[in-house]
Amino acid sequence: MAPEIAPVKKALITGITGQDGSYLTEFLLKKGYEVHGIIRRSSNFNTQRLEHIYIDPHQSSARMKLHYGDLSDASALRKWVDSICPDEVYNLGAQSHVGVSFENPDYTGDVVGTGALRLLEAVRIHIESTGRQVKYYQAGSSEMYGATPPPQDETTVFHPRSPYAVAKVAAHFYTVNYREAYGMFACNGILFNHESPRRGENFVTRKITRAIGRIKVGLQKKLFLGNLKASRDWGFAGDYVEGMWLMLQQDKPDDYVLATEDSHTVEEFLEESFSYVGLNWKDHVEIDPRYFRPSEVDNLRGSAKKAKELLGWEPKVQFKQLVAMMVDGDLEKAKREKVLVDAGFMDSHQQP
């Protein structure tokens, strides 16, 4: 009699096309998962971060599948949870830019806060109707701490300072409520800033390294920024997705902070990244008041003691390595752009 083959675990990820979603997908595929992602319909392709692992779904070897849906659409969430029957759900989807949340507060609150509630309810109803166990991960943010001084851990009081952070606090407590009220295996991961070469280009770290590459090859001269004194606990996104997964492998659901426990100002990031390629940031950076926010968050630095002790999680990439990784990636990208500019296929002011 042939031994029974264990069923393949299925994961459902919102925000799969983002930085974290792409790293988590890679991680889960290596673990043998079948990965399903919810993506928003767009006239332009928005799956660039997944291209290197995408396999045509007609191929039998394809273990990553994409489905159209949105955190603003409760019926679509219900449909995909019921049809996919995931073992684990990772809610990474969000309007995740703090600055933009001041300009689009209604949308941010709906997708980030109420969107989490819609997905939790879809999972709850699925569990109730099928009797299956589904584990749920909610992506929290260090921005929830806001004005509360560091170090910040799982017991630190939240004091959000942006519509994005307020919405994340709502999502956090929706998750806690569903865990307590319905006995769901639901975890909050409170992740401090995590970056990579896949970070969106309008986030300050990537904006800096992107500009460095272009300045170095002669495509750009100036970089405009806002508050250089803001201090953040920056880690590598690839390390943090392992922590997300570890939370759902525990016997009991709980909330965890993931952080490097080391913080640096934006000015220190500028110094490290520009000097890496032999440039002086003061020759190229100008302050633009438009980039200051109505309420600033001065200092975020996490304590990951609980995650280290209970999950065995440790960040592997340190600050200098992270900066080098990002600058190297954007320098290569800028060199390719320079070829297009020199050949007349692109204007130097364009940024594809």
pLDDT in tens, 29-49: 999 999 999 999 887 778 889
How much is the pLDDT for 48?
87
Give the sign of the dihedral formed by CA 334, CA 339, CA 341, CA 346. negative
pTM (2 decimals)?
A: 0.94
Distance of CA 218 to the CA centre of its chain: 31
- Confidence (pLDDT) at 241: 98
Closest CA to 281 of 292, 270, 268: 270
Decide if pLDDT at 351 tops 60: no
Question: Residue 31 is which amino acid?
Answer: K
> Coil, helix or strand for 285?
strand
Mean pLDDT of 317-325: 98
For CA atoms 84, 90, 92, 93, the dihedral sign is positive
Rounded to 10 deg, the angle between the 204-216 and 266-276 helix axes is 30
For residues 323 and 197, the answer to whether their CB atoms sit within 8 Å is no
DSSP 146-166: TTSPSSB-TTSPP---SHHHH
| Bridge partners of residue 65, in order along the sequence | 36
258 with 313: CB under 8 angstroms?
yes
Report yes or no: 291 and 227 within 8 Å, Cβ to Cβ. Answer: yes
Distance of CA 17 to the CA centre of its chain: 10
For residues 101 and 162, the answer to whether their CB atoms sit within 8 Å is: yes
Per-residue pLDDT of 110-140, as tens digits, reads 999 999 999 999 999 999 999 999 999 999 9
Select from 310, 311, 271, 256 the least CA-distant residue to 138: 256
Residue 148 pLDDT > 60, yes or no? yes
State pLDDT tens for residues 268-316. 999 999 999 999 999 999 999 999 999 999 999 999 999 999 999 999 9
> What would the two tokens of residue 287 be?
């302050």
Q: Is the pLDDT of residue 203 over 90?
A: yes
Both structure tokens of 157: 């009081």
Average pLDDT score over the chain: 95
Q: H-helix or E-strand containing 273?
A: helix 266-276
Report, as residue numbers or ranges, the catalytic residues. Answer: 141, 143, 164
CB count in 10 Å sphere of residue 32: 10
Render pLDDT for 39-77 as a digit per residue (tens, 0 to 9).
998 877 788 899 888 888 788 788 999 999 999 999 999
212-263 pLDDT, tens digit each:
999 999 999 999 999 999 999 999 999 999 999 999 999 999 999 999 999 9
